[in-house]
Amino acid sequence: MSKERLSVFVTRRLPDAVEKRMAELFDVTLRDDDVPLSREALAQAMKTADVLVPTITDIIDAGLIGQAGPNLKLIAHYGAGVDNIDVETARRRGVLVSNTPDVQTDDTADMTMGLILAITRRLPEGLATMQSGNWAGWSPTALLGGRIGGRRIGILGMGRIGRAVAHRASAFGMQVHYHNRRRLRPETEAEIGATYWESLDQMVSRVDVLSINCPHTPSTFHLLNARRLKLMKPTAVIVNTSRGEVIDENALTRMLRAGELAGAGLDVYEHGTAANPRLREVPNVVLLPHMGSATHESRLEMGEKVIINIKTFDDGHRPPDLVVPAML
């Protein structure tokens, strides 16, 4: 690599400590505001930079990669999921892609459990009662929820986050079930106390809570379609802290409004920020603005991984968090 400092373009505001360290190491272009770049501005950045640091709000498709300048050699993604980046096209163009795995695992799993408790114990309804000033006092039958201990949780996707959810659910006394592309090792199943279901249809029809923890890929798009959602018990709830595209959101909305499901906790949506407006009208639904990994610790650790990936690349080595198309 050249001794000149790498030209690095960052598409969104990052924590101050991360931006400061980047400025010390690289010739970095930082944002003054914190709104997603237009496609035109993103294309212009990719024409001049050596390294692009995008986030999940940036769609780096084949068209943009085709417009990239000859200097662009690394897309150091600030995030774990890379379904917003055409990794295969980047590879063919000689552009490496790295990400920030692992650091969001615990925070996202914590949020999953928070959503499960929020729905089953009716926390939003209790909060609304207090904020409205309409609480008339304690009553033996008011806002009765359900105990999660003893309930069956079905985890769709048993990667790092899925396993972290399983550990937490087990600690709450839940019975852990899962469906995954590959079955876990017997010793891992035994440690978690998890039951594997080869058939997703059979699992969703038997669980009380369904947690979505798989990535968005062509094979998982609308994996929970209308037919499969109708297999679920009317007393079951769904939590999604992974990718909104995994669920047919319109079908889910219809079932919730019809009382065919007991509730849902959603941190992600099929169409980005455009959540189905009818979901806001359902009292047993908790909607969050993609907060699953939103902790100070996670954001700083993500930045540290980005810096390590760029610095390792600058030193002429393979970035430690290199994304390989076959891994997707």
Domains of the chain by residue range: 7-103+295-327, 105-287
Task: Report the pLDDT value the prediction gives residue 3, as an integer from 0 to 100.
Answer: 58
The pLDDT of residue 327? 46
Mean pLDDT of 115-136: 95
Q: What average pLDDT does the segment 149-171 reach?
A: 97
Please give the pLDDT value at position 137.
Answer: 95
User: How big is the chain by its Cα radius of gyration, in Å?
Assistant: 22
Greatest CA separation for the chain: 72
The Cα 144–Cα 23 span in angstroms is 53
324/317 Cα distance (integer angstroms):
15
Q: Model pTM? A: 0.90
Arithmetic mean of pLDDT over the chain: 95
Instruction: Examine the pLDDT at 326 and tell me if it is beyond 60.
Output: no
Please report where in the chains the tokens 């079930």 appear, as a residue.
177
Q: Which CATH number is associated with domain 105-287?
A: 3.40.50.720
Quick one: average pLDDT of 19-27? 97
Mean pLDDT of 69-98: 96
Strands (E), 207-321: 209-212, 237-240, 263-266, 285-287
pLDDT at 1 over 60: no
For the cut 80, the answer to whether the pLDDT of residue 271 exceeds it is yes
DSSP 41-70: HHHHHHHH-SEEE--TT--B-HHHHHT--T
- State pLDDT tens for residues 237-268: 999 999 999 999 999 999 999 999 999 999 99
Give the pLDDT mean for 221-236: 98
Averaged pLDDT for residues 187-196 = 94
7-103+295-327 shares its CATH topology with 105-287: yes
- Concatenating the DSSP letter of every residue in 112-139 gives HHHHHHHHHTTHHHHHHHHHHT------
Distance CA 173, CA 254 (A): 31
pLDDT tens per residue, range 32-46: 999 999 999 999 999
> Across residues 292-301, what is the average pLDDT?
96
Span 61-75, mean pLDDT? 96
Level-2 CATH architecture, domain 7-103+295-327: 3-Layer(aba) Sandwich (3.40)
